């Protein structure tokens, strides 16, 4: 009998109305665990190669993790994975809403959705049965109305009009959180699936209740006592990074023309907290509570995150937080990814300036944004083209130089010409221009408490591998990436700041040995005592006591490696290889600032090193040897 | 420029700089920006501690310090010399996205 897991996955075919449930082999669960790891393995196994992502042949997979719904802190996230209609590559998106918790209460670890319904439907999943229900009178509702139309005490995931109209970066909403990227909402819409609602009374079993509860308590204490997760994030939310990224020239400004915004203070986390915040909100079971509540039209609603403030703010030269909050609310209701949205608007503004596109959208002009957002969601006028994303727009109208996308996915709110390792990360991230898939290297270069020289390429390939490995493992275990902010203990930060000698040694070690660290990730060995490793990654202890399965530090690192390589393999099988590990020419060819001669991304220098550290061919494809080591079946 | 005070300061290597405090440092200090005269980063930090007390020292111990956007650990740490008009920014250990 399973511990942590509910022991079944649910498969629904909307073309045939077949509903099935079955168990997965234990080996699959041991190797891929849950969330994005399990999802990409299942998608690889079930999906035919070369399908049109918007056809009924695509598959949408929702996964949870063993830690989901057990009381482990910040570990209730669920994942939605599919073949992305925006990129043709793996499209996996994570969400802090409570749908996953309820899916497990209904008795399932995962939900696999195949086919396409003839008319709009929604899926009702309970521990007493699964039904496909008519959603024709829900079709057209925004995401809030959709959730309100469904039973109150249940987990829900819904799309809005943008998903229904197949906008290529439509998202899925659960509570007030979003599975934003890569068009997962678009695929849901292409299946005529408006919503999934889950409820039940089942609970995951715990292998060792006492030790698990103790591990959870310790973990919670770490998160609450660390300054990043216990003070700054709760007080200010994710947008606290705005002033920091602007100061370090890593805040996209004017469609990534610059990295610093003169009005950063006006759209900062500090200003948000002082002038607009009405309440903190948190994901289910998270002590950090980094979500913001603000007022829009006199109503308390979810406030904007860092990414939205960057992409709809500095990136468009907009400096009014109330307006940005309004647009955030509008995007949430329509079901649009705010990162791709802001990036697309920025592209159109610049293309308009250069006479490539006829538009009245322009940097700093805010009165016509709301209409543009609406036009995108309903594919009206230029909105029909804008709904396709910047790669399409630049191919149709020109402007590839400043189309800030990788593999078709619009880049997120970090400008990498002042954080060169982040540039490499963006180029190789599996789902495209994603800051998380990049390994979020910018944290080690510009906005974290311990930072290496942002303008060197030394060691950056290895640090990217290391970061990516850790974040993949954390995400696969079901936890929020923010749990990783507690990884540098406070004492280490103090030692680093106290002494020039210590900080110099740390910085040069990280750059000089960064590539060795990366190589080590590909073949990890036990060099740190398990207890030390577990302090940095309490996820391991919780997982082990929950499931009764041992997870060593080496297992943890191999898990991160395995998931990253599995996604890479999926992409390669779809014909997406190293040729698409690129960056827009603005970032590789143009200096961000004349006064900083190193402020552009020398991608071609870093890429071959990265591939070597990863154990990939010179075309960026995992070698058979690497796949064998990671026990990945082709 | 050209006043006796300025010329004397220039000779002594003392610069008038802007110090910016961010995130919870603002709560601890009760303000977000101030002007100070100092030769190097260390002197700025000492003056902040004198002004805001030992509790603020505990905050500074955890803070990243930037001079004109560059982290002092990539410059000369607390010995980093300052020039007129420099901006010294202090950030506590942040989490965000």
CB contact under 8 Å between A288 and B73, yes or no, is no
pLDDT digits (tens, 9 = 90+) for B1-44: 456 666 665 557 899 999 999 999 999 999 999 999 999 999 99
Report whether B59 contacts B48 (CB < 8 A).
Answer: no
Residue A229 lies in a domain: no
Of B23, B65, B89, the CB nearest to A232: B23
Residue of B24, B32, B79 with shortest CB distance to A231:
B24
Residue A19 falls inside a structural domain: yes
Instruction: Indicate whether A337 and A264 sit together in one domain.
Output: yes
Domain residues for A279? Answer: 237-410
Which residues are paired to B55 by β-bridges?
none
By the 8 A CB rule, do B30 and B38 touch? no
Residue A210 falls inside a structural domain? no
CATH number of residue A502's parent domain: 1.10.599.10
Look up the CATH number of the domain holding residue A303.
1.10.569.10
**Which of B63, B78, B94 lies nearest to residue A228, judging by beta carbons?**
B94
Q: What angle do CA A60, A65, A70 make, to 5 degrees?
A: 135
CATH 3.10.20.30 describes domain B15-91: yes
Q: How many domains does chain A have?
A: 3
Mean pLDDT per 10-residue run, chain A (634 residues)? Answer: 93 98 97 98 98 98 97 96 98 97 98 98 98 98 98 96 98 97 98 98 97 96 94 94 98 98 98 94 94 93 96 98 97 98 98 98 98 98 98 98 98 98 98 96 95 96 96 96 90 92 91 89 82 88 96 94 98 97 98 97 97 96 96 94
CB contact (8 A) between residue B23 and residue A493: no
3-state secondary structure A258-324: ECCCCCHHHHCHHHHHHHHCCEEECCCCCCCCCEEEEEECCEEEECCCHHHHHHHCHHHCCCCHHHH
Give CA separation, A380 vs A167, A290, A328, A373, A580, in Å: 11, 35, 20, 10, 31
Same domain, A41 and A99: yes
- Output the pLDDT for position A189: 98
B51 interfacial to chain A (CB closer than 8 Å): no
In this prediction, residue A564 carries a pLDDT of: 98
Shared domain check, A249 and A330: yes
Judged by CB atoms closer than 8 Å, whether chains meet at B69 and A451 is answered as no
In contact, A216 and A245? CB cutoff 8 Å: no
Claim to verify: residue A401 and residue A426 sit in the same structural domain: no
Using alpha carbons, list the distances in angstroms from residue A56 to A17, A113, A185, A194, A399.
13, 10, 14, 15, 33
The pLDDT of residue A531 is: 84
Provide ipTM, 2 decimals: 0.93
For residue A488, the chain B residue with the least C-alpha distance is B93
With CB atoms and an 8 Å threshold, state whether B96 touches A237: yes
Is B8 touching A (CB cutoff 8 A)?
no
> How near does any CA of chain B get to the CA of A158, in Å?
24
CB pairs under 8 A between A and B: 113
Kindly state whether residue A433 falls inside one of the protein's structural domains.
Answer: yes
Residue A209 is assigned to a structural domain of this protein? no
Among A389, A410, A431, the domain boundary falls at: A410
Query: Mean pLDDT throughout B40-53?
Result: 96
Chain B closest CA to A212's CA: distance in Å?
26
Q: Are A381 and A428 in the same domain?
A: no
Examine the domain organization and report whether A189 and A248 are in the same domain.
no
- Predicted local distance difference test score (pLDDT) of residue A174: 98
Interface check for B63 against chain A (CB to CB < 8 A): the answer is yes
Residue A634 domain flag: no
Nearest to B71 among A269, A270, A451 (CB): A451
**Pairwise CB contact (< 8 Å): B32 & A448:** no
pLDDT on residue B4: 65
Say if CB B91 and CB B66 are below 8 A apart. Answer: yes
Pairing of strands B87-91, B15-21: parallel
What CATH number corresponds to the domain at position A15? Answer: 3.60.9.10
Nearest to A270 among B23, B60, B65 (CB): B23
**Closest Cα in chain B to A249:** B69
Same domain, A242 and A347: yes
Q: Output the pLDDT for position B9.
A: 59
Length of chain A: 634
């Amino acid at each position: 009998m399973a511990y942590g897991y509910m022991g079944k996955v649910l498969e629904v075919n909307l073309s045939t109305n077949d509903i099935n449930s079955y168990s997965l082999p234990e080996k699959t669960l041991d190797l891929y665990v849950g969330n994005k790891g399990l999802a990409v393995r299942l998608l690889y196994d079930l999906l035919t190669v070369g399908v049109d992502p918007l056809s009924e042949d695509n598959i949408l997979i929702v996964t949870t993790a063993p830690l989901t719904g057990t009381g482990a802190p910040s570990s209730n996230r669920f994942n939605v994975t599919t073949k992305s209609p925006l990129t043709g590559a793996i499209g996996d998106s994570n969400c802090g809403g409570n749908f996953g918790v309820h899916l497990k209460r209904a008795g399932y670890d995962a939900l696999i959705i195949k086919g396409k319904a003839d008319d709009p439907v929604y899926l009702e999943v309970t521990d007493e049965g699964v039904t496909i229900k008519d959603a024709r009178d829900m079709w057209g509702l925004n995401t809030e109305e959709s959730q309100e139309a469904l039973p109150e005490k249940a987990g829900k995931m819904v799309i809005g009009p943008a998903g229904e109209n197949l906008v290529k970066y439509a998202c899925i909403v659960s509570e007030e959180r979003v599975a934003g990227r890569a068009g997962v909402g678009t695929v849901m819409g292409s299946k005529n699936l408006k919503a999934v609602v889950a409820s039940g009374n089942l609970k995951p079993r715990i292998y060792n209740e006492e030790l698990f509860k103790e591990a959870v308590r310790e973990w919670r204490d770490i998160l609450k006592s660390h300054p990043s997760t216990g003070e700054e994030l709760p007080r200010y939310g994710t947008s606290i990074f705005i002033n920091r990224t602007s100061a370090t020239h890593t805040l996209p400004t004017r469609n990534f023309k610059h990295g610093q915004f003169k009005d950063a203070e006006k759209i900062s986390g500090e200003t948000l907290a002082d002038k607009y915040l009405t309440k903190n909100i948190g994901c289910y079971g998270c002590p950090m509570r980094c979500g913001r509540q603000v007022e829009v039209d006199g109503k308390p609603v979810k406030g904007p995150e860092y990414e939205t403030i960057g992409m709809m703010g500095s990136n468009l030269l907009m400096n009014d937080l109330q307006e940005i909050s309004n647009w955030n609310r509008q995007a949430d209701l329509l079901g649009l990814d705010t990162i791709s949205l802001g990036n697309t608007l920025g592209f159109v503004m610049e293309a308009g300036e250069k006479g490539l596109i006829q538009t009245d959208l322009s940097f700093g002009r805010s009165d016509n944004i709301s209409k543009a957002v609406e036009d995108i969601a309903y594919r009206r006028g230029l909105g029909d083209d804008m709904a396709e994303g910047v790669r399409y727009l630049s191919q149709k109208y020109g402007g590839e130089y400043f189309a800030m996308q990788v593999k078709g996915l619009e880049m997120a709110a970090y400008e990498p010409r002042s954080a060169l390792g982040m540039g490499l990360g963006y180029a190789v991230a599996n789902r495209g221009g994603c800051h998380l898939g990049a390994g979020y290297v910018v944290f080690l270069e510009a906005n974290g408490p311990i930072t290496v020289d942002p303008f060197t390429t030394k060691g950056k390939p290895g640090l990217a591998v290391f970061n990516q490995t850790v974040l993949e493992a954390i995400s696969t275990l079901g936890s929020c990436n923010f749990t990783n902010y507690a990884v540098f203990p406070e004492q280490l930060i103090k030692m680093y700041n106290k002494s020039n000698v210590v900080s110099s040694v740390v910085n040069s070690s990280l750059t000089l040995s960064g590539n060795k660290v990366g190589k080590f990730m590909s073949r990890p060995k036990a060099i740190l005592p398990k207890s030390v490793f577990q302090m940095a990654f309490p996820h391991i202890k919780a997982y082990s006591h929950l499931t009764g399965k041992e997870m060593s530090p080496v297992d943890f690192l191999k898990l991160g490696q395995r998931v990253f390589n599995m996604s890479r393999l999926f992409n390669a099988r779809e014909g997406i290889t190293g040729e698409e590990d690129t960056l827009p020419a603005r970032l590789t060819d143009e200096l961000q600032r004349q006064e900083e001669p190193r402020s552009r991304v020398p991608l071609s220098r870093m890429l071959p090193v990265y591939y070597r550290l990863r154990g990939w061919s010179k075309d960026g494809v995992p070698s058979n040897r690497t796949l064998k080591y990671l026990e990945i079946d082709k | 420029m050209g006043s006796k005070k300025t010329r004397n300061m220039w000779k002594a290597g003392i610069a008038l700089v802007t110090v910016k405090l961010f995130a919870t440092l603002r709560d601890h200090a009760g303000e977000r920006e101030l002007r100070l005269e100092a030769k190097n980063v260390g002197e700025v930090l000492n003056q902040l501690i004198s002004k805001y007390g030992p509790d603020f020292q505990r905050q500074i111990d955890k803070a990243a310090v930037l001079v004109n956007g560059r982290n002092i650990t990539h410059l000369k740490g607390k010995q980093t010399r300052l020039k007129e008009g420099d901006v010294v920014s202090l950030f506590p250990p942040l989490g965000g996205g």
